[in-house]
Amino acid sequence: IKKTLAKPGVKNIVLVDGVRTPFLQSGTIYADLMPHDLARAALQGLLNRTGLPKDAVDYIVYGTVIQEVKTSNVAREAALGAGFSDKTPAHTVTMACISSNQAMTTAVGLIAAGQCDAVVAGGVEFMSDVPIRHSRRMRKTMLSLNKAKTLGARLSLLGSIRLAHLAPELPAVAEFSTAETMGHSADRLAAAFGVSRLEQDEFALRSHTLAKKAQDSGLLSDVISFKVPGKDIVSKDNGIRPSTMEQMAKLKPAFIKPHGTVTAANSSFLTDGASAVLIMSEEKALAMGYKPKAYLRDFVYVSQDPKDQLLLGPTYATPKVLEKSGLTLNDIDVFEFHEAFAGQIMANLKAMESDWFAQTYMGRKTKVGAPPMEKFNSWGGSLSLGHPFAATGCRLVTTVAHRLQKEGGQYGLVAACAAGGQGHAMVIEAYPQ
Amino acid sequence: IFVFFIISVISCIHSRTHVNYEIKGDVAVIRMNDPSVNTLSVQMQREMTEVMDEVWGNSAVQSVVLISSKPGSFIAGADLNMIQACTTAEEVTLLSQEGQKMFEKIEKSPKPIVAAINGSCLGGGLEFAIACQYRIATKSKKTVLGCPEVMLGLLPGAGGTQRLPKMLGLPSAFDMVLTGRSIRPDKAKKMGLVHQLVDTLGPGLKSPEERTIEYLEEVAVEAARGLAKKQIPLTKEKGLMQKIQDHVMSYPFVRQQIYNTVQKKVMKQTKGLYPAPLKIIECVKAGLEQGPTAGYLAESQNFGKLAMTPESKALIGLYHGQVTCKKNRFGTPEKEVKALAVLGAGLMGAGIAQVSVDKGIHTILKDTTLEGLSRGEQQVYKGLNDKTKKKSITTFERDSFLSNLTGQLDYNGFNKADMVIEAVFEDLSIKHKVLKEVEAVIPPHCIFATNTSALPIKDIAAVSKRPEKVIGMHYFSPVDKMQLLEIITTDKTSKDTTASAVAVGLKQGKVIIVVGDGPGFYTTRCLAPMLAEAVRVLQEGVDPKKLDSLTTGFGFPVGAATLADEVGIDVAAHVAEDLGKAFGSRFGGGNIEFLKSMVDKGFKGRKSGKGCYIYQPGLKRRDVNTEALEILESYKLTPNAAISSDSDIQYRLVSRFVNEAVLCLQEGILANPVEGDIGAVFGLGFPPCLGGPFRFVDSFGADKLVEKMRKFEEVFGNQFTPCQLLLDHAKDPSKKFHK
């Protein structure tokens, strides 16, 4: 057994447990819910799974990306609905696809600073319904209408409305700074690293195949069952669909036409889902009689050029967090990387394998190396399980803990990219069995 | 024997220095890479013909990709030296016909050719590309397509006037060929000029530039295969609008109507002073109305004729001059200017700030009042925001550029400035006060540049503790539109200070002339006598509109009366008085008192709403300011009929300008005639078709000019006395300013 990563004078912080709702393709069974419904289901699931007394929680942090304006602090709405004490404060964070990673590290910070002992963190994303707004001109007219005092003023405002003002504004999965959609950027990234369509399709197929195997053999134990009002009980992810290379080869490129390589089949799909984890100081967990699953150790956030390096977060974050922990890539037993696009994963693996890239763009002497594939996302990933933006982070961490238990390793590494050209990585250590 | 064969192939590849090729399966990839920016030189054409013949003769090759190995350029155009080396129109016509033949073979190639375009694809390069069967372009900022020939007084002489109308339709083709404008990739795709676009790539396992070209080649090779296998159709299904347009254009009277409209528009804009656009219309018309044989013949013959015109020689001279004035002949400065401070947030100060922040220079904009500062910052914002409306930058880029701007009322942060440019009021005592204040707070290495249009720099520098760091930077209004920057050095200005000022100007995107110190330097000094003459012409009873049409009829883009309004009547009066004191009666002519009376009435030109004309916001039409005419009444002069014809008036105006320019060279204010021409054309709007005052003397004849001046001299005296250098040139016709 390798050494523990505990540091003198630093509080040991543990993951007690983690759960998630089934991740469903958006527009399917969850279609009529609201985001806080999903978040509430995850929170209740966590309470059931851990048997945690509701008033033992000091604080709740939740991540979300596309905000429902009615529940902008979705953490609070979900917590109240899930029956947590109304004396437990809750706040919501957002950092694109690493929002729940941010929720978890916020929790770690609160505990490390000695302000809390038990924090629930999580994330929710609900893509079946997104805020579609009136145009700016129309909103301006409507707001002025509120202030108009006379009938004449109101009529004249109404009269100023033109057909064009009625065109709605749709949210796009696009960078604000560059106006480029993420899929487009992923396709360019794949091309920059010379990732072929074949490589991407193969990786996507691998993800689906491994996920199916994990689902069938009951490894995805973080999934809780959820009775959807008016519908059946849901207990399985519904996006896992291993296809054949031939079928996948038939698809046309989704973003860059006609010569692009990113397709619907090798990209993660729009997903609804929520996740939640219970994070505690080791002391408190043991005092409450819990057997923690893992230690949450060092973590880093990185950011780079949002145009040409939008999705390279893992490449930048991995060597940094390893260095912080005094580990090398070889020390890691379990890798869980967020799979936004197969092309993005392959590009990151190639970048991590390149001395030239490390030297030219990262100011490092040598490459960090690419993870061995047998340790990499072996229970599937975002491509197959689904990717509810803000819920993915907790899934990655919980999966690492479960894989370490199952596979008997000691260290796990989580890494993810996020919109805005940001990234995150965390080292997780198995809790002695 | 086999070994020998291989060796001979290899040596054959190595013997070519401009074009080489590689066979990738069934696709031949032809790569162009000459020692500069890929121009269609004799060498390039010879090697290309060789390579094409080999490719056509190779039965293993089914299709072809044509690509450049250079990151910034596909083909930048034909080799101008090749044209300039010709002495007769016939020789140039022959060049054109060779080009036409080569591209005809390309067009009729039995194996489809894909032009893979990254970087500039201009002139002959564009003509090459449109002869190919398929075009793929990268979305790089460096990728531009266009026919800039017209800006050199030429026409696209290798099939461009014939292929473009068929490819784009008459209106788009005329727009492209007559304006010479550069077309960005997305627009080119929309117009149907290219078939497919390829994104630029970021960092990967190679440098972005290298990998982007590789990617373009991969995509082009795939497309070439698709074309050879007929999986990609060569002709695109036309849209409804296109079909309608084609149908309308099929009527001869509709086409005739278009020719007439375009002709009228060209005549209005060029006053008939530029032959190239008219010849272009002629070629397009010949091709469409009389068939390709007549069209190509008209194209090659007109190309030959145009190349011999003085207009083309003038424009090509300006092009070369501009390239020269975009280089720093003073070397690399010791310290790069990263932090700039601009004093005075007026029109000039804010303009200078705008062209600095968008180049990444941290800029402090200091004014003395909050109102002035607010107005200035708004000007910078508006300048950049207008660019977002034209989509040349994104709103995000605008915001990040603006983050380089700090507006303030105090001298905070000046201790970190590398250069201070003052653009405060043109008054020596104010300039002195500002210089002393600034020198008290700036670090020792910091350069003090003064933006003045007439005050001698040595007078301003007189109170400086470190005159070697003082230099003049004369910007032209509006700063973001006018290309010229006139840099003025004194005897004491150090070479490094000059190098630094030039470096900053180049970074700001300016064309730069560096001149010696003296009242009015070069540009203002040339303009002042011409404006003095213009005032006299007005006093002689010539209507401002008539004066304007006489000047624009000579080729000035802005008429003399309008120019006075733009410069500001008050500024003109101020400068006339200052320079009058410095140079005496030679700078006389119009009565300064007239200008002063105008200023007293508040007629300061465009900025005050009234000058020679009345300016109303939102109104394009301008009426003559009748109140100004009333003032003129009291300064009325009787014209001398012998020197008051339209042509006489034009030469009275121009000869004073030109004589003063030549005098500046004689006195050493100017370093060379090239900078003199560039300064006059880019700063003062001297007729581009004449190529600048020096080229004008060369082509018009110094003797003829002197003869005219002598005639005027008899009436007006020393204002028209030719300077010695001009007399020298008049005496010896072999003396030319430009070789």
- Cα separation, B329 vs B327, in Å, equals 6
pLDDT at res. B15: 73
Q: Do A308 and B202 touch (CB under 8 A)?
A: yes
For B222, which residue in chain A has the nearest alpha carbon? Answer: A259
Q: Angle at the Cα of B234 (from B230 to B240), degrees rounded to 5? A: 130
Token output for A234: 């849901």
A→B interface, C-beta within 8 Å: 176-179, 184, 187-189, 191-194, 256, 258-259, 305, 307-309, 347, 350-351, 354, 356-357, 360-361
A165 is catalytic: no
- Name residue B298's amino acid: A
Residue A246, number of CB atoms within 10 A of its CB:
8
- Cα separation, A273 vs B447, in Å, equals 61
Contact B55, B111 (CB under 8 A): yes
B43 in contact with A, Cβ within 8 Å: no
| Backbone φ, ψ for residue B679 (5° rounding) | -60, -45
Contact B601, B550 (CB under 8 A): no
Contact A392, A284 (CB under 8 A): no
Residues 6+ apart with CB under 8 A from A218: none
Shortest CA gap B210–chain A (Å):
10
For B212, which residue in chain A has the nearest alpha carbon? Answer: A192
Of B198, B201, B396, the CB nearest to A192: B201
Contact B226, B232 (CB under 8 A): yes
- Name residue A116's amino acid: C
pLDDT at res. B4: 44
Of A177, A179, A192, the CB nearest to B204: A192
- Cα separation, A238 vs A30, in Å, equals 11
Q: Do A259 and B396 touch (CB under 8 A)?
A: no
- Cα separation, A397 vs A104, in Å, equals 9
Long-range Cβ pairs for the range B378-387 (8 Å, 24+): B379/B345, B379/B347, B379/B350, B379/B351, B379/B354, B380/B350, B380/B353, B380/B354, B380/B405, B383/B351, B383/B354, B383/B480, B384/B354, B384/B357, B384/B358
**Residues 175-204, chain B: which have Cβ within 8 Å of A?**
196, 198-204
- Name residue B499's amino acid: A
- Cα separation, B691 vs B696, in Å, equals 6
Which residue carries 């691998």 as its tokens? A206
pLDDT at res. A401: 98
- Cα separation, B419 vs B406, in Å, equals 15
Residue A305, number of CB atoms within 10 A of its CB:
14
Of A188, A350, A354, the CB nearest to B202: A188
Contact A340, A99 (CB under 8 A): no
| Backbone φ, ψ for residue A19 (5° rounding) | -135, 165
Q: Do A308 and B196 touch (CB under 8 A)?
A: no
pLDDT at res. A142: 92
Contact B675, B318 (CB under 8 A): no
Token output for B733: 């016709």
- Cα separation, B555 vs B690, in Å, equals 8
The strand pairing partners of A274, in sequence order, are A124
- Cα separation, B57 vs B54, in Å, equals 5
Contact B343, B366 (CB under 8 A): yes
- Cα separation, A353 vs B346, in Å, equals 55
Of B205, B208, B215, the CB nearest to A308: B208
Of A178, A184, A354, the CB nearest to B205: A354
pLDDT at res. B454: 84
Contact A125, A271 (CB under 8 A): yes
Q: Do B205 and A194 touch (CB under 8 A)?
A: yes
- Cα separation, B425 vs B427, in Å, equals 6
B726 in contact with A, Cβ within 8 Å: no
Cis previous bond, B310, omega within 30 = no
Q: Angle at the Cα of B287 (from B280 to B169), degrees rounded to 5? A: 80
Residues 6+ apart with CB under 8 A from B319: B80, B151, B152
- Cα separation, B29 vs B61, in Å, equals 10
Which chain B residues contact residue A354 at CB under 8 A? 205
Q: Do A309 and B203 touch (CB under 8 A)?
A: yes
B486 is catalytic: yes
pLDDT at res. A1: 62
Query: From the CA atom positions of chain B, what is the Rg in Å?
Result: 29
Q: Do A188 and B201 touch (CB under 8 A)?
A: yes
Question: Sign of torsion, CA B610 B611 B614 B618?
Answer: negative
| Total H helices, total E strands in chain B | 31, 21
Contact B325, B511 (CB under 8 A): yes
pLDDT at res. B293: 97
Cis previous bond, B478, omega within 30 = yes
- Cα separation, B149 vs B120, in Å, equals 14
| Backbone φ, ψ for residue B288 (5° rounding) | -80, -35
- Cα separation, B413 vs B350, in Å, equals 18
Among candidate residues B156, B95, B161, B91, the one with its CA nearest the CA of residue B121: B156
Classify burial at B388, counting beta carbons within 10 Å of its beta carbon; exposed 0-12, middle 13-18, buried 19 or more. Answer: middle
- Cα separation, B207 vs B210, in Å, equals 5
Q: Indicate which residue of A36, A184, A208, A387 is catalytic.
A: A387
Q: Are strands A271-281 and A411-418 parallel, antiparallel or unpaired?
A: unpaired
- Cα separation, A348 vs A380, in Å, equals 17
Query: b/e string for B58-78 if b means 16 or more Cβ within 10 A?
Result: eeebbbbbbbbebbebbbbbb
Q: At what angle do helices B275-290 and B252-270 cross, to 10 degrees?
A: 170
Q: Are strands A422-430 and B19-24 parallel, antiparallel or unpaired?
A: unpaired
B65 in contact with A, Cβ within 8 Å: no
pLDDT at res. B5: 43
Which chain A residues contact residue B219 at CB under 8 A? 259
Q: HEC states along B361-383?
A: CEEEEECCCHHHHHHHHHHHHHH
Which chain A residues contact residue B223 at CB under 8 A? 259
Low-confidence ranges of chain A (pLDDT < 50): none
Q: Do B205 and A307 touch (CB under 8 A)?
A: no
Which chain A residues contact residue B209 at CB under 8 A? none
Q: Are strands B144-146 and A294-303 parallel, antiparallel or unpaired?
A: unpaired
Shortest CA gap B69–chain A (Å):
18
Q: HEC states along B552-563?
A: HHHCCCCCHHHH
A367 dihedral zone (left: phi>0; alpha: psi -120 to 50; beta) = beta
DSSP code of B491?
S
DSSP labels, B256-301 = HHHHHHHHHHHHHHHTT--HHHHHHHHHHHHHHHH-HHHHHHHHHH
Which chain A residues contact residue B202 at CB under 8 A? 188-189, 192, 305, 307-309
First to last CA, chain A: 12
- Name residue A47's amino acid: L
CA atoms within 13 A on the CB side of A169: 9
Q: Indicate which residue of B47, B282, B377, B486 is catalytic.
A: B486
B368 in contact with A, Cβ within 8 Å: no
Residue B492, number of CB atoms within 10 A of its CB:
17
DSSP labels, B417-451 = -SEEEE---S-HHHHHHHHHHHHHHS-TT-EEEE-
pTM here is: 0.93
Shortest CA gap B168–chain A (Å):
23
Low-confidence ranges of chain B (pLDDT < 70): 1-14
Token output for B558: 């802005």
